[in-house]
Amino acid sequence: MTATTVTSSRTTAATGGTPALVVVAHGSRDPRALSTVRALLDRVRALRPALPVHLGHVELNEPLLPDTLTALGDGAAVLVPLLLSRGHHVKRDIPEMAAASPARTRVAGPLGPHSLLVDALQARLTEAGWPIHPGPEHAVVLASAGSRDPESRADTARTAAALAARLGVPVVPAYASAAAPTVPEAVRALTDRGHRRIALASCFTAPGRFATQCAAAAPWIASEPLGTHPAMARLLLHRYDRALGRGGASNAGREARDGTTCGSAAGARPAATEPALAG
């Protein structure tokens, strides 16, 4: 997975110390979201105590990303979106905020698709009561926020396919907004195919309106949002490391041709153990 280098008039080479990790959350009016994200950042700090870790939001919560970057001055930073697929925030909003800041920044790709994301999804389902040996009556709806961006839907579909391979049951992606099918539509489709034990896998980073809305439509069990699961903290650090390890500036034209805008998963080498997942 590639990273986007935001240059403006500056180089993005790390100089004079370790680049900070700036985790970029969307923001939510639900107070549980902010507390969850802060707890996740504490897990990241525990895994790598010497790494400066900061938080910035696209909207709705403080600190906002531009304020976080301003506070860093002209220091080096890697921005890792706490987002699970490509979309407008990853492709446009975050890079534009980074380019407008004095910091020397590099923008990593979103967290998904990735096998660590599948680890967290599977663990949350198990916590909710998913059986060790599911039968032919079992299936899963993978619920996510949704986006009009076809690349975002493609990423979610790839995560669903990887989770299906992991669990050995059908997994249908569904969306809370901006895309189809909805969770009730996905449940009906699986019911029509004969599945009677349909679980909902919550593909959300934190509690909020969409996660609550989707869980309420679950006909059987519903997993909790991914939140502070240890795999999420490791995945944030993995994206940080990959962004620093892929040298050279990205190019918007090249990314558009390759389908790798802002570190997207398309075109990346698949992981050996999951179908079509980026490294």
What residues act catalytically? 26
Alpha-carbon gap, residue 160 to 214, rounded angstroms: 16
Contact present, 53 and 23 (Cβ < 8 Å): yes
Q: 30: burial class by Cβ within 10 Å (0-12, 13-18, 19+)? A: middle
Cα–Cα dist 76/27, whole Å: 23
DSSP letters, 61-107, are SSSBHHHHHHHTTT-EEEEEE--SS-SHIIIIIHHHHHHTSSSEEEE
CA distance 194 to 279: 35
Percent helix, percent strand, percent coil in the chain, to nearest 5: 40, 15, 45
Strand segments, DSSP code E, in 137-207 are 138-144, 171-175, 197-202
Residue 114, token pair as written in the block: 């990735």
